[in-house]
Amino acid sequence: MGHAFAVGFGLGFLVALQLGPISLYLIRTTLRNGWEVGVAFALGIAVVDLGYAVLGAAGVAPLLTIGPLETILGLMGAAVLIFLGVRTLLSAFRVRLGDLAPPVSRRRAFAVAVSSTASNPLTIAAWAAIFSAASAAGAASSFEGAVLLVAGVGVGSATWDVALATGTAIVGRLVGERFLRVVDLVAGIGLIAFGLVLAASVLE
């Protein structure tokens, strides 16, 4: 059974390791609001990864192959990413003009992480494929094994995201406001770019 948890941990860690729009927003949020808020954001990401892993293990992914549903969910995800990108860019310009935004609370950071990570439910399909491969390899050949595999995914995802938030918070203590503005600009442009690419791929 320990093997199933170890496989799940590795999968969750490696999937979270990929730099994407949510990782950019995690870095930006941590730099602007500190370690505790960054960890809250990281845990929000891990909760969604865990939930998607459960759905993938349950075989929900085929439902997303329905044409209209797939298109609607994809466009919703793109819209959320573009919204976050625009808001981040506006924040950078407000700071430049001396209008500092109030700090984000841990509860709000967690909620934003959950909503933004869940904005792309098509990742359930990826988790379904991963679980099919893991099952074929014998890592989830029983109910107990599947539970440990899913638990490992959640812990692995949380481990990387918390580590990223921690490293970012350490860097944040060493940099100035100009660097933070650059991060805001890069994160904002990156989020908008990811959103536009996702929308284009869905419409194609």
pLDDT in tens, 5-58: 888 888 888 878 877 788 888 998 998 899 999 999 999 999 988 888 887 777
Residue 91 has pLDDT above 80, yes or no: no
Judge contact between 114 and 48, C-beta under 8 A. yes
Residue 172 has pLDDT above 80, yes or no: yes
pLDDT tens-digit readout, 123-171: 666 666 666 666 555 555 566 777 888 888 899 999 999 999 999 999 8
For the purposes of burial, counting CB atoms within 10 Å of the CB of 183, is it exposed (0-12), middle (13-18) or buried (19 or more)?
Answer: buried
Judge contact between 140 and 131, C-beta under 8 A. yes
Q: Tokens standing for 135?
A: 């099952």
Coil, strand or helix at 143 = helix
The phi, psi pair for 175, rounded to 5°, reads -110, 165
Q: How confident is the model at residue 77 (pLDDT cuts 50, 70, 90)?
A: confident
Q: Tokens standing for 100?
A: 């500092």
The phi, psi pair for 147, rounded to 5°, reads -65, -45
- CA 105 to chain centroid: 18
Closest alpha carbon to 41 in 126, 95, 122, 104:
104
Which residues have a Cβ under 8 Å from the Cβ of 15 and sit 6 or more positions away?
49, 126, 130, 153, 156, 157
